[in-house]
Amino acid sequence: MSHRLQEPLARPIVLAGDPPRTIDTFLAAVEFLAANDDMRTPEVEETIDQLIAAGQSGDPSAVDDATDRLVRLLRQRGQL
């Protein structure tokens, strides 16, 4: 499973920070969300599930949707 999660997101996401960090694969996105205990909400859990499903399916539409959802979540939390 993890080798499929190493596939790229629809586009790289640059996180705010010094230095900025880039999330460019499903695995990096899932690891980032899972590592932040203070961010663990039902919305985050659902986003993680969607990322995993999209990464496993490889469906371009699912990849776009999951990437868009991740961007919205990170933007809401001020991380972009």
Q: Tens of pLDDT along 14-23?
A: 999 889 899 9
- E-assigned strands of the chain? 8-15, 21-25
Q: Is pLDDT of 35 > 80?
A: yes
Helices 42-57, 26-35: inter-axial angle, 10-degree rounding:
160
Q: Give me the pLDDT at residue 47, please.
A: 95
Summarised one tens digit per residue, pLDDT across range 47-76 is 999 999 999 998 999 999 999 999 999 999
**Chain Cα centroid distance, residue 4:** 14
**pTM as predicted:** 0.89
Rounded to 5°, the CA angle 48-50-51 comes to: 65
The stretch 33-40 carries a mean pLDDT of 80
